[in-house]
Amino acid sequence: MAQELQEHWSLTTSRGKAFQPSLSIDARVGTGSTSATTGLLQYEVDTPLFELVGMVGEKKAVRSYHLCLEAIYGIEQLVHDLGDLCDFERKQSLYLASCRGDVESLQREYSVRTRNGIRLELLGREALWECFELDYPAALLSFDAGQIDAYRLTHTLLRAASNSGLEIYDQTEITDHRSGKESVELVTKEQHRIKARKIVFANGYEIPAGLGKDIVRLKSTYAVVSTPCESLPEKVTRCLMWETARPYFYMRTTQDNRVLIGGEDDDFDNAKRRDSRVVRKSRKLVKRFEKMFPEIDLNVAYSWAGTFGETKDGLAYIGETEKYPDCYFALGYGGNGITYSFIAAQMIRDLCIGRPNPNIEIFAFDR
């Protein structure tokens, strides 16, 4: 049985403003949803590929899956180049059918992905038991996945960039923006003005006024991390795990033998209401884990809540919109915000230097 929670946090997304009363948009670097993330790196976006094909067409859907897959290895290369792995590890990913009724959709998913060159195995009940001692009707085993400490990656990137001349001003809230003929002006809460030729908005779940709130539905999500376990069997550490049920339960382990569990999403983003549920939600998450692996005792170290956003097709919004001339957006909404951020960085670099990028349409605001 899990011990009583020793501590629980409500980590901000900045919308939450719940970490400390004074900490909101003018927070320190990396304390948005990046500090709440569970750090799973998956190419599977929130919408299964066979459904995404129906929404955006086969070409764009397949391309978006391939982009996210390439992003995992791109992030691996990046942390090697930075000289700090930021706990990056390659992993496999196990997508469990939550009930028998979901097996058919797993089969469809298996065929569309393998037909498009993605390495995958479809495990039936017996194989799943043999490999993982898990009692589920079926699962997809993906060979391309990873995990990372995204907060550390953020600081490692910023350190490297500031060594190359980047100036960082945290605790500085931008309250207004004006587009001029040849430049854009940002205004801070203290009425300082910043002029630039181009601006990149990478402001998490704070939706810039004018973009339209309908591009994303904000939700609350919950997570728990255990204290380090003495040892964890390979069947637990080998894969990131998640399931077909929505909202889904997901988990991974860490290099120091902790179990990190997330899910139990709520359809609202009211910070006060969300935060009042953290203890109850984390108990539920631990119970789910213990049902899967009854022989493993978890002691909870921390539990927390955060905001995340869902889009109509599970894809991020990246690029330009005519409502904001000379501005670029990196809005990695959805469960894959980290891989989306990597894709956004490449796309926005190309837009800035005028290099054609074939992926613009996939993540466009007017799609």
Ligand X SMILES: Cc1cc2nc3c(=O)[nH]c(=O)nc-3n(C[C@H](O)[C@H](O)[C@H](O)COP(=O)(O)OP(=O)(O)OC[C@H]3O[C@@H](n4cnc5c(N)ncnc54)[C@H](O)[C@@H]3O)c2cc1C
- Point out which span in 90-98, 101-109, 160-168, 336-344 binds ligand X (CB under 6 A): 336-344
By CB under 6 A, what part of segment 16-35 binds ligand X? Answer: 25, 27, 31-34
Residue 201: closest CA among 220, 222, 229, 174:
174
# of chain residues touching ligand X (CB under 6 A): 32
Could you give the maximum distance between any two Cα atoms of the chain, in Å? 65
* Residue among 16, 48, 204, 319 that touches ligand X (CB under 6 A): 204
CB of 44 to ligand X, least distance (A): 11
* Burial of 138 (C-beta count, 10 Å sphere; 0-12/13-18/19+): buried
Is residue 306 a contact partner of residue 40, using CB atoms and an 8 Å limit? no
CB of 223 to ligand X, least distance (A): 5
d(CA 316, CA 352): 19
Is residue 202 a contact partner of residue 54, using CB atoms and an 8 Å limit? no
Residues 6+ apart with CB under 8 A from 218: 15, 205, 269, 307, 308, 309
For residues 57 to 96, the per-residue mask of contacts with ligand X, x marking binding by CB under 6 A and - elsewhere, is: ----------------------------------------
* Residue among 18, 19, 36, 248 that touches ligand X (CB under 6 A): 36
Q: Which residue is nearest to ligand X (CB)?
A: 337
> Of the two residues 61 and 316, which places its CB atom closer to ligand X in the complex?
316
By CB under 6 A, what part of segment 340-359 binds ligand X? Answer: 341
By CB under 6 A, what part of segment 236-275 binds ligand X? Answer: 262
Q: How many residues does the chain have?
A: 367
> Of the two residues 122 and 150, which places its CB atom closer to ligand X in the complex?
150
Torsion angle defined by CA atoms of residues 225, 229, 234 and 240, in that order, rounded to the nearest 10 degrees: 0
38 near ligand X, judged by CB under 6 A: yes
337 near ligand X, judged by CB under 6 A: yes
> Of the two residues 111 and 188, which places its CB atom closer to ligand X in the complex?
188
Looking up tokens 């995992």 gives 72
Is residue 293 a contact partner of residue 36, using CB atoms and an 8 Å limit? no
Residues at the interface with ligand X (CB under 6 A): 13-14, 25, 27, 31-34, 36-40, 150, 173-174, 202-204, 206, 221, 223, 262, 306, 308, 332, 335-339, 341
